[in-house]
Amino acid sequence: MSEQLLLDKKKTRQRVLQQRRAFSATEKTPAEQRMLKFLQSWDIFRQAKTIHIFISKTDEPDTSPIIESAWESGKTVAVPCVVPESFELFHSQLKSFEDLSSGALGVLEPSPEGRIAMNPESFDLVIIPGVAFDRQGGRLGYGKGYYDRFLEQTAAFRLALAFNFQVLEKVPTEKHDVPMNGILTESGIIEVNN
């Protein structure tokens, strides 16, 4: 990877994460409510039997209403767990928010003794975090590559979850970066032809 690309990624990450931290609760909550409405009326979500979704951090779009909606409609929900000392994810079914505790990177995940293994091949829809995205399906993650490795193992529809300001003209990507099939923002779902 070129030094310039590394620098571009670092600068873009810093800029967008700063915007995300500055996004107030009064702006964030209505945006999340609109995202949920768009998702609930979207055929791919409605038809999905098994979805994989991340447990959001404070400044990310809140995924708990999406998870509740999935449970209410009878879907199986899987969440990622970081495997310590590796760059791999373990995928566990989630049946209740009470099963969550702080994991390896300080992100909530099912406690090790309560995990129910799920196969990435069983997922119909994967809802993906990230720092920035573009309309060509490019994704700039947090820099560890967990999702790129995981997404190579599933044929599920890859849906990024982002606020409007996280969708840029172009994000710096590399060959191994797995492209998104769509992006859900508070303005709707952008489907990507890749």
Q: What are phi and psi of 6, to 5 degrees?
A: -60, -45
pLDDT on residue 194 = 59
Helix axes 25-40, 64-72, angle to 10 degrees: 30
Tell me the pLDDT tens digit for each residue of 175-188: 888 999 999 999 99
Domain coordinates in residue numbering, the chain: 3-191
For each successive 10 residues of the chain (194 residues), what is the average pLDDT?
80 94 94 98 97 95 98 98 88 96 88 93 97 95 88 96 96 89 97 79
Does the domain at 3-191 match CATH 3.40.50.10420? Answer given as yes
CA separation for the pair 60, 93 (Å, rounded): 21
CA separation for the pair 37, 147 (Å, rounded): 26
pLDDT on residue 125 = 98
| 182 beta partners | 159, 191
Nearest to 189 by CA among 63, 38, 4, 57: 38
pLDDT on residue 151 = 94
Q: What Cα–Cα distance (Å) separates residue 72 from each residue in 49, 76, 109, 124, 194?
A: 12, 10, 20, 17, 32
